[in-house]
Structure 1
């Protein structure tokens, strides 16, 4: 078919004629331009209002409705489900607590899956299955002419009309509800992480400014304890327990918690408690650059740093002895232990906070006091 630019071809309509054309006329004009050949353009439902069509519409609406209900469930679980740790001895409360994370994953996953299923079903059942062949050029580098823009918009509008979306109110309402609930969940997820007030109980270990290493009263001894896998088993750390170049994860222990299963388990599970205890090799210890104001935080060759990465809070748990670097496996941040664990690679921008340690008179390693800065990633009340 002629394009309108060849000798003897029908000249294209003027702008005034284009304005007078309805959508059907523009569609026909668009298919006649530039050598378009429509191979197949069947109606999805040639006979309107059949039972099969109504079943298809209900299936799409049901998918969107399930997505919306799952989105509501996600928001409810995120905000109101019991999320604080409960010991196994309290069976009912522990059971509800153990469902918190699975519920978040299931409800959010179902919401996204059902929304995607509804979109796919609608595309398959109601969008016209058009097959067309068209030869186009770039209009000598000038882009699409007004004629082509008009006709392609008409064709898109015609495809939307043929999909019958405008008259399917059940699908539109359920889709809007689904998208709204999923959007609400998307907003609630980051907002929920900002609910905790860092100034609440500022002077206690429950504040974002402090950790489980904080002394509960003046003179309290907080030992460095390893996790043996048995919460009630107390394994304290002596300096001779680590070889030069060795590393171990330790947690706080108080004599007042001995025999208290819940307190011992909580100390191991509390997110801001893990600390990396590192014993440097003698030749490496001589090259250490200490952070200003923290020159006495180490005990000889022993250095202790928060295990919580300052990027997004993953465990910076990989220690490369040869280079004396701590690596966070989540986003590849690296911290130089010989330079107060400052970041030298990756997205982290803050050094790992250092825990001041020493040895008690009984020969075990202890924390002199809590960290002097908030650990983990930044939050809105912290200046850095």
Structure 2
């Protein structure tokens, strides 16, 4: 039956305004051809022990979600998160940081979901209705009766008088929302203008020269304790290798060695071009001397969204980001030539230490690494 069927007996606007919710529910069903086969009250006898137990069970899950959400905030803010080597005191607490974040946030979200599911199963009337479908939009009458049906379902569930469930649901949802907010904004808590001379400041990467000490290019061997530095003869023409910063003052320092491998803005892609390709290189203004012969070093952090640009295609000399398929031309100062990236990869200035024969970084990047940054000091 159509919503605009003239054979339907429609009440006047004044009569519609005077109708109760129950009247509107019945009228809406009649006008839309709905037959309520079953519409049982979940708790026909109010205030029974079973009803109270069900209410407390739902409230318990919402309360658990609230406690877990608050625990997530505490873990995120106060739990030791700085790297600690496996053989150092405090490693156990450090290793539990990420699992505790996942556990508390998961319990908070799960508690809200389970509480809502239990409330639906135990307190919302499980009606069985048959309705003829119709074409076209809904009239104001249809809208009014639909809202009455929704309101009736809420009233029959008794939510208005279940203050325990309402309070715990609000508390749980609020704590979960607080946790999600801290999770989303927590990375912005660190002040980039604080301690700008520190090598760990957001102004610089781990390649910054400190106290005139040279920063060598170190291979990633999979063992934080093993230090293998890079010599020019270690790479074949057309090869690529990922390198990390190393200072002699950090040799034997387990925490510093591991931290250099874990810091997100440290990975650098060291590329040795083939001689015929090296002759075709176009260099960026102000970075004409950043290479050492056929060797060029670019950050592995994509300028689109920060994924690792871990692929190098030596036939085309393109650096590829596997996340969103951005491509950078290694022969033209790693400028983007395909995909969503719009800014070149930062280039690290490298040179050869004549005394040791190892490659080292002359100074830190002088341009932003990654997808965004507040500003840079020269």
2:29 matched to which residue of 1? 31
Alpha-carbon shift at residue 287 of structure 1 (Å): 2.8
Write out per-residue CA displacement over residues 295-353 of structure 1, whole angstroms, 9 at most, x where no aligned residue.
Answer: 11111221111122223333221222333222333343332222222233344332221
Q: Secondary structure at the match of 2:171?
A: helix
Alignment equivalent of 1:65, drawn from 47, 63, 66:
63
1:116 paired with 2:113, answer yes
Residue 270, structure 1, aligned to residue 275, structure 2: no
Q: Taking structure 1 as reference, are residues 17 and 112 closer, same or farther at Cα in structure 2, changes over 3 Å only?
A: same
240-249 or 222-231, larger mean C-alpha shift = 222-231
Q: Where does residue 134 of structure 1 map in the other structure?
A: 131
Deviation at 1:112, TM superposition (A): 0.8
SS of residue in 2 equivalent to 1:377 = coil
Structure 1 range deviating more: 204-213 or 106-115: 204-213
2:300 to 281, 304, 307: 307
C-alpha distance in 2, partners of 1:114/1:323? Answer: 52
Call closer, same or farther: CA 1:322–1:121 in 2, change over 3 Å. Answer: farther
**Matched length:** 376
Q: Which residue of 2 aligns with 1:45?
A: 43
Q: Deviations over 1:332-379 (max 9, x none)?
A: 333222222223334433222110011121322111111112322313
> In the alignment, does 2:225 pair up with 1:222?
no
1:249-276 per-residue CA deviation (whole Å, 9 max, x = no partner) reads 1111222222333322222222222111
Aligned to 2:91: 94
| Structure 1 match to 2:247 | 254
Distance 1:3 1:242 in 2: 77
Aligned residue number for residue 161 of structure 1 = 155
Secondary structure of the equivalent of 2:296? Answer: strand
Distance in 2 of aligned mates of 1:244 and 1:314: 26
2:341 matched to which residue of 1? Answer: 348
Matched, 1:233 2:226: yes
* Alpha-carbon distance in 1 for matches of 2:186, 2:8: 64
Q: Does the CA contact (< 8 Å) of 2:367 and 2:376 recur in 1? A: no
Q: Secondary structure at the match of 1:12?
A: coil
Give how far 1:5 is off. Answer: 4.1
**TM-score normalised by L of structure 2:** 0.93
* Residue number among 146, 149, 152 corresponding to 2:146 in the alignment: 152
Structure 1 residues 382 and 33: CA distance shift in structure 2, 3 A? farther
CA RMSD of the aligned region, Å? Answer: 2.2
Equivalent position SS for 2:36:
strand
Q: Does 1:15 align with 2:13?
A: yes
| Distance of aligned partners of 1:135 and 1:282 in 2 relative to their CA distance in 1, 3 Å threshold | same
Deviation at 1:227, TM superposition (A): 2.0
Instruction: State how far apart, in whole Å, the 2-side matches of 1:344 and 1:41 are.
Output: 63
Deviations 1:119-174, CA, capped at 9 Å, x for gaps: 111111111112222224345xxx32222122111111111111211111111111
What runs of 5+ residues in structure 1 fail to find an aligned partner? none
Cα distance in 2 for residues equivalent to 1:37 and 1:97 = 61
What secondary structure, in the 3-state scheme, does the structure 1 residue paired with 2:244 have?
A: strand
**Secondary structure in 1 aligned to 2:360?**
strand
The Cα of 1:380 is off from its aligned counterpart by 3.5
Secondary structure of 1:278's match? Answer: strand
Q: Distance in 2 between matches of 1:96 and 1:262?
A: 15
